[in-house]
Amino acid sequence: MPVGLSFWTFQALSYLFDVYQGEDIDSTLAEFALYMAFFPVTISGPVCRMPDMLPQFRAEEITRWSDISHGLRRVAVGVLMMQLARLMGQGILAGDGINSGFDRTTQWTGLDVWCLAFGYGLQLFFDFAGYSHIAIGVAQALGFTVPENFARPFASTSPSMFWTRWHMSLSFWIRDYVFFPIMQMRREVWWRNLALLISMVLFGIWHKATILFLLWGAYHGVLLVLHRVIESLERKYDWTPPEKAWNVLSWAGTMCLMNLGWIFFRSNSLATARAMYSAIVSPAAYSTHLLTGSLYLLVSSLAGGYAITLLTIDILRSDSVTEGHSQSALIELLINWQWFWLAPAYALALLFVLIVTWSHGTSTAQMMYGNF
């Protein structure tokens, strides 16, 4: 099939749906062709919509240097993230990564399955969020703003929050053009929940028309419905849990449930998925591990490194001195001299990843979402 077929089909469909629903879109044929062939997003999104893009196509403003600079920085971040995804797939040692854990292993312990589930979630995130950074950065350097695709999904405290932060342009597309129209056919609560389940099943089948992706979509549909039920019970009985403790528990539970779903997404067969889920629920399967220690080290290191990076970003974006509170001397130094240490830190990180990945072969990094 042609590269990017599903993404520019989504864009064309959204145009038709918007026109049908009465949106004031008076684009010319040339503008529609530009919308369909806007090269930064044609391969794998983010999915754009004509009402957002048309005013930008017609704008006569000159692209600012700050937009170009910020766009190129996002491209640089995306390149590093995609290389990190490649590192996770290959492993620190050749053939000792997430890919071999799924493809070459026939037995797993409970610890192995958790490692692969969390590792694949990170791998997919680094790959697709990295690609999205590149696409959004290129568009920004050209003077255009396209939709964001990820917003710290691993900080989510509920399945609903996760799907408003992961692959956002497609999630919102499914919400607006599939879920809402189906939901509005009836007013009953059960129908709304069924519409949510149907939407997520279609979401899964969009990735690939197999039983595994159907189950993946159904799994997340059930999680979303259960979250709605829990929220309704909290309102019904006026129950307010302790905020801090509940947030921690909600985050931990959400991360476990969301990452377990990747087993359906990544497994090579239904029998493989069944074996991996069986290992998770078997207490005897936690006595040892079969995957190598280097893979456990890689997954935990990148997860911890990503968390530290987000914390550092929050610090750098804060003011050096907030009202009534002085930052520590170290934090002020990091903020005031960030452009002197950020570039070398980035270069060293990218160089290290490239050396490790290139030592396994010279093949170019693969964009994982190109498979769907």
Residues annotated as catalytic (active site), given as ranges: 207
Q: Find the Cα–Cα–Cα–Cα dihedral 264, 276, 121, 308, rounded to 10°.
A: 160
Angle between helix 65-90 and helix 110-141 axes, rounded to 10 deg: 160
156 contact partners, CB below 8 Å, separation of at least 6: 162, 165, 251, 254, 255, 258
223 contact partners, CB below 8 Å, separation of at least 6: 159, 257, 258, 261
DSSP letters for 180-222: HHHHTT---HHHHHHHHHHHHHHHHHHH-SSHHHHHHHHHHHH
218 contact partners, CB below 8 Å, separation of at least 6: 197, 200, 201, 204
3-state secondary structure 115-169: HHHHHHHHHHHHHHHHHHHHHHHHHHHCCCCCCCCCCCHHHCCCHHHHHCCCCHH
**304 is written with which tokens?**
């911890």
* Distances from the Cα of 367 to the Cα of 83, 101, 167, angstroms: 10, 19, 15
* Distance from the Cα of residue 202 to its chain's centroid: 18
Q: What phi and psi, each to the nearest 5 degrees, are found at residue 9?
A: -70, -40
**286 is written with which tokens?**
């936690």
Query: Residue 326 belongs to what H/E stretch?
Result: strand 325-326
Q: What is the C-alpha radius of gyration for the chain, rounded to an integer number of angstroms?
A: 22
Judge if the upstream peptide bond of residue 46 is cis by omega within 30 degrees of 0.
yes
